[in-house]
Amino acid sequence: NILDGVVHLDSVADGVTRGSLIYGNATPKWDERVIGAADTILASDGIDFSWTGSPSLSGILTVDTINEFTPGAGVTLEGLLIKDEYVEFDEITSPGTPTANKGRLYVRSFSNLAQLFYVDESGYDHLLAVPWENVDLGTDWPAAVATGTGSVAFAQARRINLSSGATASSTVFVRTPDVTGVSTGVDNNVVDWSQRVLINLKFSVRANTSTGVVRFTLGKGTGDGMGALNNRGIGIQIEQLSLKGHVHDGSSAATTAVLSTLTANQAYRLLIVSDGGGNVEWFLDGTSIGTSAAGPSAAGVAGDCVFQLDVANGGNSATQSALMHALQVAAW
């Protein structure tokens, strides 16, 4: 080797160590770079180079496998923690709409809980990983209770159709049986409102009158009849076409201001989320339209676990009607 026995003289530092690099410099002509610490690489800043454990690269890094450096710590990519057992997302507000033929998976705060969402190329958000259970809309719902010309039609695909008819002060309601098994860990006729409870309702309002009212609730008992909630529960109240939130915390009922003005004969997807701490949020076709802090937060009374839909024309000699197309519930 031609360097064997050569003495390194024109260097700023004496005593070249094992692994040192000799490189050109302006003054003096030659310089040396001592070997870096373990697990560092040589990087350039465009003027000089140095050892670093956190290189900044502009371009494409092509590798077959990325393994964690510290056992059990995982690998973090742009805030996304990847481990052998799971992938962990940071909450964001929205990932925006993806380009054609792509989708985006993300986590956002959803009624005070980090939830997993998928947004498709049209920009629509899909709530994932919810233990939905379908509530049958068939003829096993008990017979309707009606006054005046109120009526219900069950035997129609994808709908329960309630109508007050045109006789003034006519009403009609339908409800599920008194054992709905909404919550686990309690009796099957109790809704545990300290849990997170979600209702996914697809509905439409057909005929409507200026004094007409439609209510959909979870939390009534089989003997409660028409009207507002009288114990812990959540739901909606539609006055003609004005949609409001409706809740009861065990002490009193509360109805929000108008959350949305509906269009007659248009189907809507309504999501109601009770977070277990008294907070309730309403989403219409995927968009949050309002909240209330007056919701339930403790187990309800035994038997107050039925889903109920009721319609009244409010004394007007005209028809108010509503259709329920689909119903799901989840609680955990």
Q: Is 259 found in the same domain as 145?
A: yes
The structure tokens listed for 113 are 């809980």
Q: Is 203 found in the same domain as 176?
A: yes
pLDDT over 70 at 12, yes or no: no
Q: Is 139 found in the same domain as 46?
A: no
Q: Is 241 found in the same domain as 116?
A: no
Q: Is 282 found in the same domain as 142?
A: yes
- 139-153, 207-221, 277-291: least confident range: 139-153
In a domain, 185, yes or no: yes
In a domain, 91, yes or no: yes
Q: Is 303 found in the same domain as 227?
A: yes
- 223-227, 231-235, 249-253: least confident range: 223-227
Q: Is 229 found in the same domain as 317?
A: yes
As a whole number of angstroms, the distance between CA 9 and CA 29 comes to 10
pLDDT tens figures, 261-307: 999 999 999 999 999 999 999 999 988 999 999 999 999 999 999 99
pLDDT over 70 at 28, yes or no: no
As a whole number of angstroms, the distance between CA 31 and CA 21 comes to 8
CB distance 247 to 278 below 8 Å: no
Q: Is 291 found in the same domain as 324?
A: yes
Q: pTM (2 decimals)?
A: 0.78
DSSP 205-263: E-S--TT-EEEEEEEE-TT--SSS--SSEEEEEEETTEEEEEEE-SS-EEEEEEEEE--
∠ CA 199-201-206, rounded to 5°: 150
Query: How many domains does the chain contain in total?
Result: 3
What residues make up the domain containing 40?
1-62
Q: Is 265 found in the same domain as 171?
A: yes
Residue 320: per-residue pLDDT = 94
What does the buried/exposed string (b/e) look like for 183-213 if buried means 16 or more CB atoms within 10 Å of the residue's CB?
beebeebbbbbbbbbbbbbbbbbebbbebbb
In a domain, 69, yes or no: no
What is the sign, positive or negative, of the torsion defined by CA atoms of 79, 83, 89, 90? negative
